[in-house]
Amino acid sequence: MATVCAASLSLMDAGVPMKKPAAGIAMGLITGENGVSKVLTDLQGPEDHHGDMDFKVAGTKDGITAMQMDVKIDGITPQILREGLTQAKKARLQILDYVNSVLAEPRKQVSAFAPVILTIDIRPDQIGEVIGPGGKIINGIIAATGALSIDIEQTGKVFIAAADYDKANAALSQVKSIVKEFMPGEIIEGEVIKILDFGAIVNLGGGRDGMIHVSELKNGFVEKVEDVVKLGQRVKAKIIKAENGKIGLSIKALGAEK
C-alpha cells in the first residue's frame, strides 16, 4: 500500500494531471482461541506472518478504488469486515491529509525527467511513407532524434515516445514533414541539393523535394542555373504546382508579388 501512496505522489510531482491523490493502507487481524478478534491498522511483517488476515484498501478522499484480501482462517464475519473498512477509511484519510500538506495538487509543468508521448493523426494511406521500406524511414527518425519509439496504429494514430519533450518534438516534426501536403501558393524555404541543366532541386524536408525550372528562377533569360542559385544555398520559393507528388517551385513568382 506504500506503493499506492508513493506512486500517487510521484505522478503529481511529475506534473501528471491526476484528478485527486490516492493512498492505501493494509489491515490485519488477530483472532484468539476464544473467538475474540482484533483488527489491526497498518500491520507489520510479524503481524502479517502470524495474523489471520491481510486486507489491503486503497482509494481517494471520495471513496475506495481497490481492495484485496488474504485470510488464513475459514472466513470473516460482517462485523470484522465493517471494522476493517472503518479503520481503513480513517487511516486513508489521515494519510491523504499528510499527502495534501506535502503536495496539494499536481505540478503545473511536466517534470523535465518525465518521459513524453506525443501523438499525431495521419491518413492511413500515409503510414507506408512514414515507415519506409523495411522500416528505414521510421528507424532513421528514431536514430536521428533520440526518440524511444514510434508506434503507428492502422487508423493512422501515431504515438511518439521519448525521454524528454525536445526529442519527442523533433521526431514529431520529422513525421509532420513527411506527411505534409504542399499546396499551390504556399511559400517554402529549403536547400538546393542538386543543380541540373534545366533547373534546381530543393530539399523540402521529410524526404520530399521540389524543382525550380530554369524559366522560374528569375525574370528574363537565364543562361546557366548557377548564375542564379548555388548548390547548398537556401532559397525561398513559391509552390506553383503540386500534382501526383511532384512539386513545382518558382523564385520568379515571389518577385512578382512585390
We report the CATH number of the domain holding residue 200 as 2.40.50.140
Which residue shows C-alpha cell 533569360? 221
Residues 230, 225: Cα–Cα separation, whole Å: 8
What local confidence, expressed as pLDDT, does residue 258 receive?
Answer: 45
Amino acid at 140: G
What the block records as the C-alpha cell of 168 is 519527442
Residue 9, CA distances (Å) to 23, 66, 100, 104, 165 in order: 9, 18, 10, 10, 22
**Mean pLDDT across 232-240:** 92
pLDDT at 257 over 70: no
Is 107 within a domain? Answer: no
CATH number at residue 42: 3.30.230.70
Closest CA relative to residue 27, chosen from 52, 56, 58: 56
Tell me if 182 sits within 8 A of 238, measured CB to CB: no
Domain count for the chain: 3
75 and 132 share a domain?
no
Q: Which residue range is the domain that position 45 belongs to?
A: 2-102
24 and 43 together in one domain:
yes
Average pLDDT over residues 152-156: 95
**256 has pLDDT over 70:** no
pTM of the predicted protein model: 0.53
Last residue of a domain, one of 129, 157, 179: 179
